[in-house]
Amino acid sequence: MSTSRRSFLGKLWTSLGIVALLQLMAGAAAFLRSGSREEFVPKKQPVHAGPINDFPPGSVTLIPAAHCYLSRLDNGGFLAISRKCTHLGCAVPWNAERRQFECPCHRSVFDRSGNVLKSPAPRALDLFPVRFEQQTVVIDVNQTIRRAAFEQAQLAFPEQYRS
């Protein structure tokens, strides 16, 4: 085997080794990312969260099937608040003691209407549309409502609370 051919094969194997190493590192990075964040793939079917009366005013309830929290404000209005942080997308847990959403990734804080209390989150948590069918709360997970901040018009009211 000539020296130039041996040299060529050596470079080829080195290049292939580098490509394989990069693929391995990319796979490991993807695996680590998937372990630290939740998947936010909305279901196609609307989610029936439960009877209206199961959610008293002032309550915040995790609805796992919809990847959101159902927050019922004191005036009886409902918000289906996405768990996905508006900063970089981490899942945001509800802190029942402090009555606020607290992102574990970079410490953004949101109130129970999803409004930003502490950055770096740039805007309020997204919403899903809420409607009522035969006294049951139904969440449409096919549609995400992006918003800058909470407004009263975002609330969904059951029939008996409408004025």
- 3-class secondary structure, 16: helix
83 near ligand FES, rule: CB under 6 A: no
111 near ligand FES, rule: CB under 6 A: no
Name the one residue in this structure whose structure tokens are 């292939």. Answer: 16
Select the residue interacting with ligand FES from 85, 116, 124, 141 (CB under 6 A).
85
- Give Cβ neighbours of residue 158 (< 8 Å, ≥ 6 apart): 52, 76, 78, 132, 135
81 near ligand FES, rule: CB under 6 A: no
Task: Please report the DSSP string for 55-75 in residue order.
Answer: S-TT-EEEEGGGTEEEEE-TT
Select the residue interacting with ligand FES from 49, 68, 81, 121 (CB under 6 A).
121
87 near ligand FES, rule: CB under 6 A: yes
- Report the residue number, 27 or 104, with the smaller CB distance to ligand FES: 104
- Give Cβ neighbours of residue 7 (< 8 Å, ≥ 6 apart): none
- Structure token pair of residue 59: 């309550």
Which element (helix H / strand E) includes 25? helix 3-36
18 near ligand FES, rule: CB under 6 A: no
Stretch that binds ligand FES, among 60-68, 87-95, 141-149, 154-162 (CB under 6 A): 87-95
124 near ligand FES, rule: CB under 6 A: no
Residues that bind ligand FES (CB under 6 A): 85, 87-88, 90, 103, 105-106, 108, 120-121
